[in-house]
Structure 1
Amino acid sequence: MKKLNIYICIVILLLSHATTFAQQSDKAMEILDKTAQNIKNAGGISVTFSGSQNGSILLEGEKFYLNNGNVESWFDGKTQWSYMKDNEEVNISNPTSEELQNINPYALLSFYKQGYNYIYEGTKNVKGKIYYKVILKPQRVVNIIEIVLYITKDYLPQDIKIKAKNQPEQIISIISYKLHQKYNDAIFKYGKSKYPNAEIIDLR
């Protein structure tokens, strides 16, 4: 009888843990869904950031233009152009979803339902402001190990931390947002006239 009682206790503990994890996953999904929808509804977005790098990014759907001083990247939804200032060259590629996430952290809001487990870890108080904390972990072995998101009560990413294999942790802290901006599609494509002397390297 004692052994049976121990087994029952173990089952109850396991079920309780599974239920708690499911609830945390549901909460994380709710927060991520609302954040993704909010970014989508905002149309054109302008973001300035600091952290591991300083710079700015313009977003519209899956398209983006990123400038961190040493590198400029354009992505029109299919093709990416990356201009390396130090090398005076432009690399052209058709990036994978993982490659996009390494360059544009907002890309994960398009791909988080594909291949990630996520969990809600409560809220964090930073200088009187409350943020949701959500952790994403890939379901298969990839370069990215973990992504930690701090999301505002208005469902906008505030801090993004990306851990990858054999690389220092990448930290992005948002300084400012401008929502509902109007952009011409040309903003998300590299123009040869901007850097006429750059060497073009086509990696497609």
Structure 2
Amino acid sequence: MSKSKLLEVLRRSILLFSVVAISIMVLPAQGLFDKMQKELQLNKGVRFDYTSTLKDKNGRTLQSNSGSLIVKGRLFRLNDQVTAVYNGKTLTYYNPQDNTLNLSNPAEEELIQINPFVVINSARNYYNIQENGTQITLNPKKRGNIVKVTIQLDNRNKPTFINVFMRDSSQLQIKMANQVQVNVSNSTFVLGKRQYPNAEVVDMR
């Protein structure tokens, strides 16, 4: 075999080895991610209790809320200081402080800051997935306000802590507990004048 042919064979071998190595590196992350999705069963309906804390770039707490979250696919209902529902297109939330019903069509990043499980449903479209032990790291494919999301899993592959890192160095930290499968209809994700007949409607769509 000539020297040039030998070099070409070596180059192809190195390239093949690199492809295999990259595949081996990627598979565990996607495998762990798949296991998490299987445990969550978001498409069937699941309820969580949570505590969310917003911290500034110096680690100081700006806001902290506790509440419950019902998720079914991309639909969700959140109850804490406000009640908010998302029907797949429109976000509606009731603010008792000023008795208003607020309607908007939020972008993906805005949804993630309200319901971190949105990132799990859309991860493969918007993020590169990495794994380190029992932690999944999601790095955005495109530049935006969110620079990284980490998801900590327990020994049953269920998420217990989600941290959303923002470009201004602030962090949204969510502790999850009491995951329960629930049967919910789409009416769970409807909020309007029927529930709050005296509220002022603020339509920002």
> For this structure pair, what is the TM-score category when the shorter chain's length is used for normalisation?
0.7 to 0.9
- Give the partner amino acid of 1:198: A
Q: Distance in 2 between matches of 1:154 and 1:43?
A: 18
**CA deviation vs aligned residue, 1:42-73 (integer Å, no higher than 9, x gap):** 7221100124131110111211100122x221
- For the aligned residue pairs, the C-alpha RMSD in angstroms reads 2.3
Going from structure 1 to structure 2, the CA distance change for 1:110 and 1:54 (only over 3 Å counts) comes to same
Given that 2:69 and 2:76 are in contact with CA atoms closer than 8 Å, whether structure 1 keeps it comes out as yes
**CA deviation vs aligned residue, 1:132-179 (integer Å, no higher than 9, x gap):** 111111021111111010122323211100111236311111121111
Q: Distance in 1 between matches of 2:28 and 2:197?
A: 50
Q: Distance in 2 between matches of 1:97 and 1:51?
A: 19
Given that 1:21 and 1:119 are in contact with CA atoms closer than 8 Å, whether structure 2 keeps it comes out as no
> Is structure 2 residue 70 aligned with structure 1 residue 63?
no
Bigger Rg, structure 1 or 2: 2
Counterpart position of 1:140: 142
TM-score between the two structures when normalised by the length of structure 1: 0.77
> Is structure 2 residue 179 aligned with structure 1 residue 177?
yes
Partner SS, residue 140 of structure 1 = coil
Counterpart position of 1:25: 26
Partner SS, residue 202 of structure 2 = strand
5+ unaligned residues in a row in structure 2: which ranges? 1-13, 54-64
Partner SS, residue 114 of structure 1 = helix
Counterpart position of 2:51: 50
Counterpart position of 1:85: 96
Equivalent pairs: percent with the same residue? 26
TM-aligned CA deviation for residue 20 of structure 1: 6.5
Q: Distance in 2 between matches of 1:51 and 1:93?
A: 22
Q: Distance in 2 between matches of 1:48 and 1:133?
A: 20
Given that 1:74 and 1:82 are in contact with CA atoms closer than 8 Å, whether structure 2 keeps it comes out as yes
- Give the partner amino acid of 1:90: L
**CA deviation vs aligned residue, 1:108-143 (integer Å, no higher than 9, x gap):** 111100121121111xxxxxxxxx111111021111
Counterpart position of 2:152: 150
> Is structure 2 residue 104 aligned with structure 1 residue 104?
no
Q: Aligned residue pairs: how many?
A: 179
5+ unaligned residues in a row in structure 1: which ranges? 1-11, 123-131
